[in-house]
């Protein structure tokens, strides 16, 4: 970033409508000009300190924002598989994780997808409450397994999964799901919890309950939120 100006240059207001000026462009130019001048006045001629002080504050702000949402891992599946693991996690430091996932089911059978924590792959150690929106129909259900999505044969799903350990030590997740295609599209909201408490989140696994139902081309990105 260049050094902030010590004076504000003179500017010209373009008319919003004029034969030789695109009025939309002129209006947007005026708005942008005003925003730039406001920034210059705040950081330059109404100084909150020297350039070096302002630069240091901006660097600190940028550094803090960069640490607030940090990518932990990304996986692009190269061949059909049963599960994807995320290891080496520290939920006590991160507080919250967010998983973006887009999954294709290439098999001839419908498959559920489960989210396991810390290597516990026993379905009955979790509960999931979900609501499905299908056209004008809304269907709720509760199951004794950690579902984050269900996809019929040859179909696809897109999930955003929020993950944390609550103050009393219970593993929890919340999912927004976009599944199926074209006029068959459905929306799901899912909330899951582990029946017993945990000390930390050290690993996560997304696993299909049908062999090879995480198809090639499926993608996952895991982010963490860190204490400022």
Residues 171 and 147: their CA atoms lie apart, in Å, by 14
- What is the dotted CATH code of the domain comprising 70-225? 2.60.120
pLDDT class of 226 with cuts at 50, 70, 90: confident
Q: State how far the Cα of 176 lies from the Cα of 183, in Å rounded to an integer.
A: 19
For 32-70, what is each residue's pLDDT tens digit? 767 766 666 665 555 556 667 666 766 666 665 555 678
Query: pLDDT band for position 1 (50/70/90)?
Result: very low
Ordered by start, the domain boundaries in the chain are 1-68, 70-225
Q: Averaged over 117-143, what is the pLDDT?
A: 96
Ranges assigned E (strand) in 77-218: 83-86, 96-104, 111-117, 126-134, 137-143, 147-151, 156-165, 170-179, 186-197, 204-208
Please report the pLDDT score of residue 210 as a whole number: 98
pLDDT, tens digit, for every residue of 72-116? 999 999 999 999 999 999 999 999 999 999 999 999 999 999 999
Residue 20 has pLDDT above 50, yes or no: yes
Distance in angstroms (rounded) separating the CA atoms of residues 116 and 198: 12
> Which segment of 57-71, 115-129, 132-146 scores lowest on mean pLDDT?
57-71
Residue 154 reports pLDDT greater than 50: yes
Task: Give the largest CA-CA distance in the chain.
Answer: 72
Residue-wise pLDDT for 160-193, tens only, equals 999 999 999 999 999 999 988 888 899 999 999 9
């Amino acid at each position: 970033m260049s050094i902030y100006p010590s004076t504000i240059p003179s500017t010209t207001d373009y008319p919003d409508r004029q034969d030789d000026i695109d009025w939309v462009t002129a209006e947007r130019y005026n708005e942008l000009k005003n925003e730039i001048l406001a920034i210059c006045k705040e950081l330059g001629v109404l100084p909150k300190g020297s350039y070096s002080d302002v630069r240091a504050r901006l660097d600190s702000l940028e550094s803090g924002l960069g640490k607030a949402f940090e990518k932990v891992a990304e996986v692009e599946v190269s061949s059909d598989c049963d599960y994807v693991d995320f290891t080496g996690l520290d939920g006590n430091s991160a507080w919250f994780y967010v998983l973006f996932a887009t999954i294709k089911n290439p098999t001839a059978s419908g498959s559920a997808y489960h989210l396991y924590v810390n290597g516990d792959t026993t379905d009955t150690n979790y509960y999931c409450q979900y609501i499905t929106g299908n056209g004008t129909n809304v269907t709720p259900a509760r199951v004794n397994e950690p579902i984050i999505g269900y996809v019929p044969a040859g179909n696809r799903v897109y999930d955003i999964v929020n993950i944390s350990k609550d103050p009393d030590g219970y593993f929890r997740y919340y999912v927004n799901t976009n599944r199926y295609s074209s006029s068959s599209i459905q929306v799901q909201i899912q909330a899951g919890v582990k029946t017993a408490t945990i000390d930390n989140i050290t690993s996560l696994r997304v696993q299909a309950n049908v062999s090879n139902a995480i198809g090639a081309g499926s993608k996952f990105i895991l982010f963490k939120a860190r204490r400022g």
